[in-house]
């Protein structure tokens, strides 16, 4: 066991996988010198410039070339420097990677991982802060993972690399260096599509993912101490496919569901979770299925004052828990 932060865990996952399988390469902007977040630190020294390849500044081609390389025996991990910069590659992800297997009637497949830092709370302004998971969770043929802890990041990234499908792997950048966590030495994986109950509870089910898991856990602690409300916190970890079974099981137990996500409230992934609960657990509900999310403004303004006003935080989550608990 060793204590690692999330960037180190991600680094280790890729490093170990590349040691294990020489078909795996990393490609992206600045990855050669270690990447702007240092996820590929030392990779060129270990694997050479070809397996840790600096690309021209062209995201559509980074993803497109990754698709092509995957057809010819390479397993590419494409790094997009910030999730906000993935939009020029939207077409390659949605119309190409996600549809290639289907449109060829299962004869071609494209095992690529597109890793990208996402999320807000680091003074990133409107172009280093976006949450993009809902765009891709909407697209059949892509798997979408949102991680915000070292242990999950390593286990899920390994699963993503070993998955025969295209995977969008979203790393919450505020979580990169915010915490350290004990991680087992050596190889382990976490199945894609499996949520984790980070905290057991009996009064309210709080369903969340990404950085909001940490904020939600804080809020749950506060509520336990101050109000005696027992909140169960479920981290989805994967938004596509997502763990309906665990979520519905918990809601059937507690009778109340609060969904917390960082993205804009309208059409955010939590809306899908809310709809599923309303449809499949209606008979068990003792209160309105409730969401806490960012208001519908571009996330997020650069000024710390403006950013704080927009984003969900432990206080806003605690307030929503109180309201829901009162039902």
Report 58-97 residues binding other proteins (CB under 8 A): 58, 60-61, 63-76, 82, 84-85, 87-88, 91-92, 95-96
Q: List, as one string, the DSSP characters of 30-90.
A: TTTTT-TT-TTTTHHHHH-TTTEEE--S-HHHHHHHHHHHHHTT-EEEEEPSSGGGGGGGH
Q: 317: exposed, middle or buried (C-beta count within 10 Å: 0-12, 13-18, 19+)?
A: buried
Q: Residues near 100 by Cβ (< 8 Å), separated by ≥ 6?
A: 67, 108, 109, 110, 141
Residue at token pair 């995977």: 167
Binding piece for other proteins, criterion CB under 8 A, among 46-54, 170-178, 200-208, 282-290: 46-54
222-281: contacts with other proteins (CB under 8 A): none
Smallest gap from residue 210 Cβ to other proteins (A): 20
Among 135-143, 145-153, 278-286, 314-322, the segment contacting other proteins (CB under 8 A): 135-143
Binding segment for other proteins among 99-107, 144-152, 173-181, 249-257 (CB under 8 A)? Answer: 99-107
- Closest to other proteins by CB, 140 or 228: 140
* Residue choice 2, 275, 278, 306 for contact with other proteins (CB under 8 A): 306
* H or E, element range at 168: strand 167-172
Beta bridge partners of 53: 27
Q: Is 262 left (phi over 0), alpha (psi -120 to 50) or beta?
A: alpha
- 128 is annotated as an active-site residue: yes
- Rounded CA-CA distance 200/204 in Å is 10
Distance (Å) of CA 187 to CA 76, 122, 326? 20, 31, 45
Helix (H, G, I), strand (E, B) or coil at 181: strand
Catalytic choice (11, 87, 123, 128): 128
Does the protein bind other proteins through residue 120 (CB under 8 A)? Answer: no
Give yes or no for residue 191 binding other proteins (CB under 8 A).
Answer: no
Q: Which residues contact 254 (CB under 8 A, 6 or more apart)?
A: 201, 202, 203, 204, 205, 232
Q: Which residue from 117, 119, 121, 141 is in contact with other proteins, where contact means CB under 8 A?
A: 141
The residue (of 50 and 185) whose beta carbon lies closer to other proteins is 50
The correct pick among 16, 90, 138, 163 for binding other proteins (CB under 8 A) is: 163
Q: Which stretch binds other proteins (CB under 8 A): 160-168, 223-231, 242-250, 274-282?
A: 160-168
Q: Select from 16, 90, 109, 218 the one that contacts other proteins (CB under 8 A).
A: 109
Rounded CA-CA distance 321/174 in Å is: 24
Cα 3 from Cα 213, distance rounded (Å): 20
User: What's the min distance (Å) between Cβ of 310 and other proteins?
Assistant: 5
Q: Is 298 in the site for other proteins (CB under 8 A)?
A: yes
Give the interface segment with other proteins, choosing from 30-38, 208-216, 226-234, 247-255 (CB under 8 A): 30-38
Q: Does 111 bind other proteins (CB under 8 A)?
A: yes
Instruction: State the nearest-atom distance from the C-beta of 321 to other proteins, in Å.
Output: 23
- Find the DSSP H helices in 82-200: 90-91, 98-103, 133-137, 150-162
* Distance in Å, CB of 285 to other proteins, minimum: 31
Q: Does 194 bind other proteins (CB under 8 A)?
A: no
Active site residues: 128
């Amino acid at each position: 066991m060793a204590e690692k932060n999330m960037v180190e865990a991600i680094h280790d996952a890729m490093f170990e996988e590349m040691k294990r399988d020489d078909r795996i390469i990393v490609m992206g902007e600045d990855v050669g010198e270690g990447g702007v977040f240092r996820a590929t630190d030392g990779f060129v020294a270990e694997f050479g410039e070809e397996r840790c390849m600096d690309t021209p500044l062209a995201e559509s081609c980074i993803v497109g070339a990754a698709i092509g390389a995957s057809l010819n025996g390479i397993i590419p991990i494409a790094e997009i420097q910030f999730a906000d910069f993935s939009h020029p590659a939207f077409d390659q992800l949605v119309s190409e990677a996600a549809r290639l297997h289907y449109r060829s009637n299962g004869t071609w497949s494209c095992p690529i991982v597109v890793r990208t830092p996402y999320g807000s709370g680091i003074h990133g302004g409107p172009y280093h802060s976006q949450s993009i998971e809902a765009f891709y969770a909407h697209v059949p043929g892509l798997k979408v993972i949102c991680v915000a802890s070292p242990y999950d990041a390593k286990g899920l990234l390994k699963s993503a690399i070993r998955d025969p499908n295209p995977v969008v792997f979203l790393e919450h950048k505020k979580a990169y260096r915010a915490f350290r966590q004990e991680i087992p030495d050596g190889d382990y994986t976490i199945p894609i599509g499996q949520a984790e109950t980070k905290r057991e509870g009996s009064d309210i089910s709080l369903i969340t993912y990404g950085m909001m898991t940490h904020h939600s856990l804080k809020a749950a602690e506060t509520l336990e101490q101050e109000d005696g409300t027992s909140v169960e916190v479920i981290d989805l970890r994967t938004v596509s496919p997502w763990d309906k079974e665990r979520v519905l099981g918990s809601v059937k137990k507690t009778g109340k569901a609060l969904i917390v996500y960082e993205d804009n409230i309208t059409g955010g992934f939590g809306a899908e979770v809310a709809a599923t609960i309303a449809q499949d657990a209606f008979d068990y509900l003792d209160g309105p299925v409730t969401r806490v999310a960012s208001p519908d403004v571009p996330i997020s303004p650069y000024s710390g004052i403006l950013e704080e006003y927009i984003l969900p935080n432990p206080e806003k989550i605690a307030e929503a828990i109180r309201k829901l608990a009162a039902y």
